[in-house]
Each structure stands twice: as structure tokens, then as C-alpha cells.
Amino acid sequence: MSRFLFVVPPFTGHVNPTIGVALELERRGHDVAWAGVPGATEALLPPGARFLSAVPDEVAAYVAEAGERRDDARGAAGFKFLQEEVLLPLAEHMVDGVDAALDAFGADVLVVDQQALGGAVVARRRAIPWATSATTSAELVDPLAALPKVAEAVHQMRVDLQVRHGIAPDVAGAGDLRLSPHLVLAYTVEELTGSLAGTPAGEVPVRFVGPCAVGRPEPGGFPWDRLSDDAAVPNVLVSLGTLNAEVGERFWQAASEAFRGQPWTGVFVAPDHLVPDPPPNVIVRSRVPQLELLPRLRAVVSHAGHNTVCETLAAGLPLVVAPIRDDQPVVADQVVRAGAAVRVKFARVRADALRAAVHQALTDPALVAAAERIQASFAAAGGPVAAADALVALA
């Protein structure tokens, strides 16, 4: 039996899929553990999971504080902030901790998230087999292809990180910390990413396993009796994800106007104060049991976070996507190209455009057909079983 150490950042979407994979490995008798940020990462793991802290408490506090500060940073400034103020310091500080976790746990294989590159540094330094955990499909494609100078600077930043931690410059300069040469687990399907040929990910073994997130404890108290049971009045979820609800003031206003008087029931995942005067056909809740809701929905309006997009497509539902930042514009592009989503702007969204997009998502059979196609390819991709097969083969 083998030991697998998952190295993850403290972000829900990046931890969730690893839980499904880890449970499958455990079912086969292997040992699994996670290394990450104390508190924040631990809170995302199932009860009883083995967790090894990879950073001191003050780094955990810094990461939490940086997460709050980046609320206003979008676009190129947001990218810079995420890379330089969050991910690079996190990688820097995780190297020693992952090293210690490895000594304590004795892993045969590291599974390293693309936003926890400290794990990749350790794996390279100690020549341990490692797999990339590509929790978002955006880092599989080459999002900086049009900006070679920026791509070069980001690459150099990661080379410097390795050199600071004792990896020879020529070794550090080869390859890409985001893409293990041994295995890349992609929790998506090629129908969404498009062909990877000609991109850096085309050079490494990528295994498309589809979504691997497991069911999670969901909040109770949802007013189920307010959902529509009438097929002529479809239910539509509107969610900007766990991190973005507060930046959406204008979006929620437009969404309220868009839904007012329409033959739809809206479920808005927003704090009450951002939707002060909801129309009668809109339910506003700060948290919802999203997985339990999906079978009752006909469409989802989303910020195009990878998890929500995957859960929606796995239910065979079309989307309206309003990407906000980070990987979301790339994920949104992918779903639109696959034919399963209509895109609207987030920053300057207007009620009439949003209303038209929701109407299209509810009535255009081509969108539903594309969503159902992706649903089928998700189901065929193998999920945690395929991911575990690939990881066990590395051990």
C-alpha cells in the first residue's frame, strides 16, 4: 500500500476535488493526508482527515488577510496581486512545511495543486514522483499565450523560487511547476478545455478524469416550499460563488431587475443587504444547499467558478456566465465555446442583457443539448476511480 500527500491552498474549489480522490485511495487501502494552511485548509477537509500544517500561524493569518484585501483587485491588477501577494509567498513559506510533512508522513507520491507550488518544489528537490492537481481548467490551457513578456516574468518568478530552495538553475528552468512531467490530473474533460496540443500542457501526461468533488455538508433551513413546481415557471440559481458575493452590488441590482415580473423563480445566493428589495419571485439566501437544489433547477447564472460550472454541467444544465476575475474568464470562454453557456459582463451587466441571457438559457435547446453532452462526457471520464488508478500507477 502507498502513501499519498495532497498539497493544497486554503481555497474550497482546490480542496474539494482532492477529497473525492483521497476517499477512493483510502477505500483501496492506501494512506492519505493533506498539507496546507492551518485553520483555513483544515476547515475544508472531512472530519477525521489527516492534516499536516505546512506554514506557521502568522503565514496563515497573512493569507487570510491578503484574501480580504484582494476583493477590489480584478483584471491585470488582480492577477498581479494573486500571483505576487498570495501565491508566491504561500509557495515560499510552504516549502519547509511540506518538507517536514513529508518526513512525518513518509509519502510515496505528492499530489500538488497548481496554487500550492511549494509542494512541487519539494517533490523536485527530493526527486519524489508527483502529480499536478489541476483544479481549474484555466491553468491547463495557456492563458498568458498572448502576453509572452508576462508569461516569461511569471515563469522566472517560479524559477527563482526553486533556486532559492536549492534546486540547480538549469533544473529549475526546465519544465513548469504547474505541470508535473509525471502526471496532471485534470478534473474536467477535453470537450471543455479544447485540444492541449501546442500548449505547455500538451507536453506532459494529462489525465482528464472529470469532476471529483464529493457531496459536502450543506446548510439546512432552505425554504423549499418557495421553489416552483410548475414546469412553466423554471427555477434559476444565481450565484457568484463563496468569495465574490460582496463585490457584486451592482450585479445583484441588475439581477433583481432582470427577474422582476418574469415567469421564473430565482434563488440568489447573496447577503440580504445586497438585495434590499427582492421581487416576489426571488429567494435571497446567503448560503444554499447547492447540490440538493440542482435537480430542481433549469439553469444557473454563475461567476464561472470551476466548481459551480462543473456541478451545473454534471447536472446537464446550461449556464449564464458572468466571470469576475482569476481563472473565471478562461473557464467562461471554455463553456461558451462548448456551447453550454451564454456570457454576460460582470462589471457592466445590465438588467435587460441578463434577462435576455437567462431567457436564452431557458429556451434554447442547443444550450441544453451541449450541457447534456458534457454531462455524458463527465460521467464517462471516470472521476475519482480514474484519478486513483493514475496516482497508484505513479507510486
Partner 1 sequence: MPETVTPEIVLAQLEEMLVEVIGDDLLLDGPLTMETSFDQDLQLESIEFVALSEKLLETYGEQVDFVGWLAEMQLDDIIALTVGQLVGFVAANAAASGA
- Min CB(112)–partner 1 separation in Å: 24
Other CB atoms within 10 A of residue 374 CB: 24
Q: Is the CB of 73 or the CB of 379 nearer to partner 1? A: 73
Our CA angle for 133, 135, 137, nearest 5°, is 115
Give the start-end residues of each E strand in 29-69.
31-36, 51-53
Q: Is the CB of 235 or the CB of 256 nearer to partner 1? A: 256
Binding residue (CB under 8 A) for partner 1 from 49, 150, 163, 233:
150
CA neighbor of 91 nearest in space, from 120, 128, 50, 49: 120
Q: Is the CB of 146 or the CB of 231 nearer to partner 1? A: 146
- Min CB(78)–partner 1 separation in Å: 9
Number of H helices, E strands in the chain: 16, 13
Q: Is the CB of 146 or the CB of 232 nearer to partner 1? A: 146
Q: Is the CB of 185 or the CB of 332 nearer to partner 1? A: 332
- Min CB(250)–partner 1 separation in Å: 10
Q: Is the CB of 75 or the CB of 205 nearer to partner 1? A: 75
Q: Chain-centre distance of CA 328, in angstroms? A: 9
- Min CB(330)–partner 1 separation in Å: 8
Three-state DSSP state, 6: strand
Cell of 165: 530552495
Binding mask 295-334 for partner 1 (x = CB under 8 A): ----------------------------x-----x---x-
- Min CB(322)–partner 1 separation in Å: 11
Range in contact with partner 1 (rule: CB under 8 A) among 219-227, 229-237, 306-314, 343-351:
343-351
> What residues numbered 61-90 form the site for partner 1, per CB under 8 A?
74-77, 79-80
- Min CB(347)–partner 1 separation in Å: 4
Binding residue (CB under 8 A) for partner 1 from 64, 174, 347, 376:
347
Binding residue (CB under 8 A) for partner 1 from 148, 215, 221, 295:
148
State the first-to-last Cα distance of the chain, in angstroms, to the nearest integer: 9
What does the radius of gyration of the chain's CA atoms come to, in whole angstroms?
21
CA neighbor of 250 nearest in space, from 309, 324, 306: 324
Three-state helix/strand/coil letters over 182-211:
CEEEECCCHHHHCCCCCCHHHHCCEEECCC
Binding mask 153-182 for partner 1 (x = CB under 8 A): x-----------------------------
Cell of 243: 468569495
Q: Is the CB of 148 or the CB of 223 nearer to partner 1? A: 148
Instruction: Read off φ and ψ for residue 329, nearest 5 degrees.
Output: -60, -35
Q: Is the CB of 287 or the CB of 350 nearer to partner 1? A: 350
Three-state DSSP state, 114: coil
350 binds partner 1 (CB under 8 A): yes
**Distances in whole angstroms, Cα of residue 372 to Cα of each of 1, 316, 355, 368:** 38, 4, 23, 6
Binding residue (CB under 8 A) for partner 1 from 27, 164, 216, 345:
345
- Min CB(337)–partner 1 separation in Å: 11
Q: Is the CB of 216 or the CB of 348 nearer to partner 1? A: 348
- Min CB(25)–partner 1 separation in Å: 37
How far apart are the C-alpha atoms of 143 and 45, rounded to whole Å?
30
Cell of 57: 500561524
Our CA angle for 249, 135, 338, nearest 5°, is 75
Contact at 8 Å (CB) between 375 and 188? Answer: no
Ranges of H-type helices in 165-302: 169-173, 190-193, 241-244, 249-259, 290-293
Number of residues that bind partner 1 (CB under 8 A): 19
Range in contact with partner 1 (rule: CB under 8 A) among 10-18, 103-111, 341-349, 362-370:
341-349
Q: Which residues bind partner 1 (CB under 8 A)?
A: 74-77, 79-80, 146-150, 153, 323, 329, 333, 345, 347-348, 350
